[in-house]
Chains A and B, each alone.
Chain A
Amino acid sequence: AQSVTQPDIHITVSEGASLELRCNYSYGATPYLFWYVQSPGQGLQLLLKYFSGDTLVQGIKGFEAEFKRSQSSFNLRKPSVHWSDAAEYFCAVGRATDSWGKFQFGAGTQVVVTP
């Protein structure tokens, strides 16, 4: 069965510290991988995506993610968080062969940034 797991429901990080959010997936085919951010009262915004090629992907707002096929992981990182990074983050996985573009979201990780 296909699944997307974000092991951390909630993370608290100090402003200026580094951040890493974990995402593990179980998919029977070549995955397309995404990270979205959802700020309060806002829709989801795409941070970055991985389709193929270089396994280290750069996104917006200073985020990056690394695809590790052997670990079935796609972890999101940011070297130095800002107070505005407080939000909920969702990992999503799609099947490369799915012509209709359906993907599955993880349950999300809530990030709190302290001064």
Chain B
Amino acid sequence: EAGVAQSPRYKIIEKRQSVAFWCNPISGHATLYWYQQILGQGPKLLIQFQNNGVVDDSQLPKDRFSAERLKGVDSTLKIQPAKLEDSAVYLCASSSGPGLERYNEQFFGPGTRLTVL
């Protein structure tokens, strides 16, 4: 079974530039998550999709971050314009469904490491 795919793996940009990350979840997984992991901290949920609808974006800085999941499969996360404090690893995860039941394990991709200069 193929895992969660993310690209690019690394990205370096100047502040005020824009950047986009792509995620391809495990086939058939209805729930998709984007996390931000700042150095020295645990991952923080930015947004959660159920199919192509948003169920939680309470911690997404909506003035600069946006995300979409067209057709309920792939997803993109965009930052525009980027700030220095956006330097982090952005992790995508997917699960077969929402909730924390035993069968809904979240599988994580390798992440995209963003450096904002």
Contact = CB atoms under 8 A, between A and B. Distances in A.
B31 interface: yes
B68 to A, nearest CB: 19
A25 B98 CA distance: 22
Nearest to B110: A43
Contact of B91 (A43, A102, A103): A43
A6 to B, nearest CB: 8
Interface string A82-109: 0000000010101110111111111110
Given A102-B45, A102-B56, A107-B41, A51 B102 contact: yes
B48 A102 contact: yes
A99 B50 CA distance: 12
Contacts of B111: 43
B95 A101 contact: yes
Nearest to A94: B100
Contact of B108 (A43, A99, A102): A43
A74 B111 CA distance: 27
Contact of A106 (B3, B42, B109): B42
Contact of B42 (A32, A46, A95, A105): A105
Size class of the contact patch on chain A: 20 to 34
Nearest to A100: B98
B55 interface: yes
A106 B37 CA distance: 11
Contacts of B45: 102
B91 A44 contact: yes
Nearest to B3: A43
> Which interface residue of A44, A95, A99 has the most chain B CB atoms within 10 A?
A44
Interface of A: 4, 9, 32, 36, 41-46, 49, 51, 90, 92, 94-96, 98-108
Given A45-B108, A108-B41, 16 more contacts: A9-B40, A43-B107, A43-B109, A44-B43, A46-B105, A90-B43, A96-B100, A98-B100, A99-B99, A100-B50, A101-B95, A101-B98, A101-B104, A104-B42, A107-B40, A108-B42
5 contacts: A36-B108, A43-B111, A44-B91, A101-B95, A104-B42
